[in-house]
Structure formats: structure tokens, C-alpha cells
A and B are shown apart, each in its own frame.
Chain A
Amino acid sequence: MARAVTTQHKTIATAAAWIVALLIFFPILYTIITSFKSEQEAIQGFNLIPSGTFESYSEVQQQSGYFKFFFNSVLLSVGSTILALIVAIPAAWSMAFSPTKRTKDILMWMLSTKMMPAVAVLFPIYLIFRDSGLLDSRIGLTVMLMLINLPIVVWMLYTYFREIPGEILEAARMDGASLWNEIIYVLTPMAVPGIASTMLLNIILAWNEAFWTIRLTTTNAAPLTAFISSFSSPQGLFWAKLSAASTLAIAPILIMGWFSQKQLVRGLTFGAVK
């Protein structure tokens, strides 16, 4: 860009952007700050400097067994993502490399399943889960989360795979590569970045899913979404503890999210905006 940027212009823009950014980030920042306060401090009015106690963190673990929920969240989000990838990779691969007339319709239809409102099937799913003993089980919820995110996984993989040039495959075929060699030596190295970003985004989505994870669990399989929701009962003002639990619940995914901004745009817009 040849446009001269005056220092004054840049200073004003910087100041404005930082003010807005800090305002947007403030609730998260304040939660982190409050998590290092004692319970008395937390309700003593606006204060940005905590006494720096870790009391709330140890209480969250001791009283409510935070790590069990954390472990469930990890298990459910990673498990459902891997499961979805196993099912989706062959599908996306075949749609990207040997598309037929119906490929587009199938993709569209898959996306449409994502638009079905969860409440519409709440009771049947609840019933099916209850009668097959899947209620509050990690396996049931893993499958559930896999199904919910499967359309997005197929779509994301498809948009990535489609960018792999088909000529390379043909060249490999000419050189006598078998199908398996083609997949392992030619395709996989080119597909790995796309698969990795799909995985990242899907873990974030599964981690934050807050309908089925709350409704289909009680204690055993409950992840952090259900754990945090249990703080909504108005008994007492345990804000330092709530803050500590919240900080722990969002920290891992926040950091993952920062690394996946670009993929997020692409994944959630189904490749329409890159």
C-alpha cells in the first residue's frame, strides 16, 4: 500500500481499537482477576487488584471435584472429534476427488441436518438414551457430540481436500502408485494441515456445546458445561469460586481458539469466507 499513514492517524486508531478491545475482553479479564480474590474481596465492589490468593482454586477442586469434570470435557471433546474424523475423512475424500452430480446435494443435505433445532428431538433422544442406559454415560454423549458436529467436519475437510490439486494424484497413478500408496504418500502429507485445523475447531465446538451436555448428564459423565451450570442456583455468593471454576473451564479452549482464528472463519462459514 502506497497510502501514506500519518502517525497521528495510527495513534488515534490504535487508541480506539485498544479501548474497544479491552472493553470486550473485560468480562473475561475481570473473571480471571476475581478468581485470585478471597470471597469477601470479591463482593467488596470494583477492584482490579486481587490479593493473589489461590484459595478459590483449591476449594473448587476439593469441594466439587473440578478435575473429574475437566477430564470428562477433554474425553468428550477429543473423543467425539476423533470419532467424527474417522467417519468423515473417507466421505470428504471421496466427495472431493470423485465428485458425482449428487455430491453437492449430499453436502447440502448434511448441512441441513445441522439446522434441526435440538429441542425438537430432546424428548425422543432423552427416551432413547434412558431406555438404552446411555443417560449420563460418556459413550452416549461422545456419540451424540460426534453426530452434532459431523456435518461441519465433513464440510471443513471437503473444502480443504478440494484444494489439493487432482493432477498430483493422476501423476502418482501414472507412476504406478496403488490406491494405498496414493493415500499414504501423496494425499496424507497434503491433507494433514486441513485435518489438524478441522480437529482444532471441532474440539472447541464440542467443548462448548451446552445443550446436550447439560441435559443428558447428571454426575458421572458431566463435563464442565454442566458443572458451571450448577453454579446458577442462587445459594450464597461464591463469586471467587465461580470465577476460579470459570477460568479453569475456559482457559484451555481460549488458548486453542487464539491459534485457530483463521480456521474458525473458514470452518464456520463452510468455506464461503476465507
Chain B
Amino acid sequence: MATQQTRSLARFMMAPSVILLFVWMIVPLLFTLWFSFQQYNPLNPMRDGFVGFSNYALFYSNPAFLYSILNTLIIVVSVLVITVVGGILLAMLLDQPIWGQGIVRILVISPFFVMPPVAALVWKNMIMHPQYGVFADIARFVGAQPIDWFGQHPLTAIILIVAWQWLPFATLILLTSLQSLDGEQKEAAEMDGAGFLSRFWYLTLPHMSRAITVVILIQTIFLLSIYAEILVTTNGGPGYASTNLPFLVYQKALLEFKIGQASAGGVIAVILANIVAFFAMRAVGKNLDK
């Protein structure tokens, strides 16, 4: 159908995007790979050179590595569970006929538009502060001891903040999917005497399955690289209690100037992301055909 001329035109039009993205992806990545096999310290250039896999060995044997992998996974899984379960419930609630639906939707979606540092700082200072935060006020009101969130439960605190940021996203997407569910199907099921639970299990949930998959995949991409929320709240501490993989790499590279180790960590992060991306691509690719 397409002539030779339009085909070469198409190629020409695509070239800038493809070249830019290719360079942007491949050049820094090659640098990282190269650095991961080097001893390199910008503060002490005397000791540079090829060191084989010792950066990887050092990075693995660092106790912080295990913590960071574990924390990364805990953050991703916890936030996913909270936002997907919460999102389904919330979407079903907002799908009911209610007064002021437009405003309710706006209120619910709002946290998603709050930039990460603001979200983290507001929660840290005004909500979770052990002395002046709203949680502390509530605790004192009911006669309980206020919780020192960032000192005692740093990871839980970060999970709560991140879940607050992503719950709106999950809700909005699941609600959009729910609203495309055929009303007649629901009615038919009701007439056949299907109870609320069986309607949910056999009709609503399968209908939402694609949206749920998409929510899980997209959130995972972003949740694997949580950074600003940790930076402005706990700074990874106490100890390594709230250090995730991105944060550990950042610490190694820009605070300790252990570039080799940081790069080795970066390569691990890429591998981790690729495993996730593999599944993400397949799911999104399937949807593309429809």
C-alpha cells in the first residue's frame, strides 16, 4: 500500500526519536558497565584501573546490599497490595450513584499530582511528626503514646506515604475500567440471583483484570525507583532500615564516591528492572493487538 517514497519519509520522520532514545539509553549504560569493572575515585585518581568483578563482590558482600534489595521488594509489594486492594474497594464505592461524584473524584485523585518531595515532607512534618503531627495529636487524644514513625518504623512510614501517592492512580484506572462494565450484564446476573460476592468474583473482577495488570506493572516500574521520598524523610536510616537499591547506589556514587561499586549496583538495578520489564512488555504488547 505504502509507496517507496512514503516509506522512506516515514523512516526519516521516525529517525530523531529513535536516535535520541538510542543514544540516551546506550551511552550512559555502557559507561556504567565500564565503571563497574574499574577502580575509580574522582577524589583519588592515583588508584584507577581495571579490577574485574571485585566491585560486584564488594557490593554483594556489603550488608547494606541485602537490606536494600529486601527493602526495595518490601516497598514494592506492600504498596502494590495496599493500592490494588484499596483501589478496587474505592473504585467500587465511587462507581455507586452518589451526590457530588465529580468533586469526590477530584479529591481522591489529587495526591497523585503532588510532587514527591512535597508529599514526603508534608507527611513527615505535619502528619507523622512524633510531637506536632496530626497522628500524635490523635494518639494523645485517645490517651495513647505517639509513635515515632521515622525513628521506629521508617519503612512502614515510607510505605504509607508512597501508598498515599499511588492509591489515587490505581483507583482512577480501576474506576475507568469499572465504568466500562456493561450494566445489562450486571442486571442479568442480579436477576439470576447472583449475590454481591459472586457477582464481584465472577463478573466484576474478571472485567477489571486487565486494568489491574496494567496498574501493577506501571506502579512496579515507578516503585522500583523510589528516591525523593526517602531522601527527604529518613535519608535511608536509621542505619540501613529504609535504604532501597536506588538510594544505596546514590549514596555510593555521590556521597562516598565509590563509583565502581555504585556502577555495579546500577547494573544490578538494571537487571532487576529488566526482569520486571520483560513481563510488562508482554502484557502491554498483548493489549496493543486488541
Contact = CB atoms under 8 A, between A and B. Distances in A.
B125 A242 contact: yes
Contacts, number: 312
Contact of A10 (B98, B105, B168): B98
B116 to A, nearest CB: 4
Q: Which of A13, A34, A253 has the most CB of B within 10 A?
A: A13
Interface in A39-73: 43, 45-46
Interface in A162-184: none
B58 interface: no
Q: How large is the interface on A (under 10, 10 to 19, 20 to 34, 35 or more residues)?
A: 35 or more
A108 B108 CA distance: 32
Contact of A268 (B28, B31, B169, B280): B169
Contact of B113 (A5, A111, A254): A254
Interface string A216-232: 00000000110011011
A139 interface: no
Nearest to B16: A87
10 contacts: A120-B28, A124-B32, A126-B253, A210-B117, A215-B254, A232-B233, A246-B121, A254-B110, A257-B112, A271-B288
Given A9-B97, A24-B168, A204-B113, 16 more contacts: A3-B183, A16-B93, A21-B103, A31-B122, A113-B21, A116-B270, A119-B249, A121-B266, A123-B254, A150-B20, A208-B115, A229-B232, A232-B231, A264-B112, A271-B288, A273-B211
Interface of A: 1-3, 5, 9-10, 13-14, 16-18, 20-22, 24-25, 27-28, 30-31, 34, 43, 45-46, 87-88, 90-91, 93-95, 98, 100, 104, 106-108, 110-128, 147, 150-151, 154, 204, 207-208, 210-211, 214-215, 224-225, 228-229, 231-232, 237, 239, 242-243, 246, 249-250, 253-254, 256-258, 261-262, 264-265, 268-274
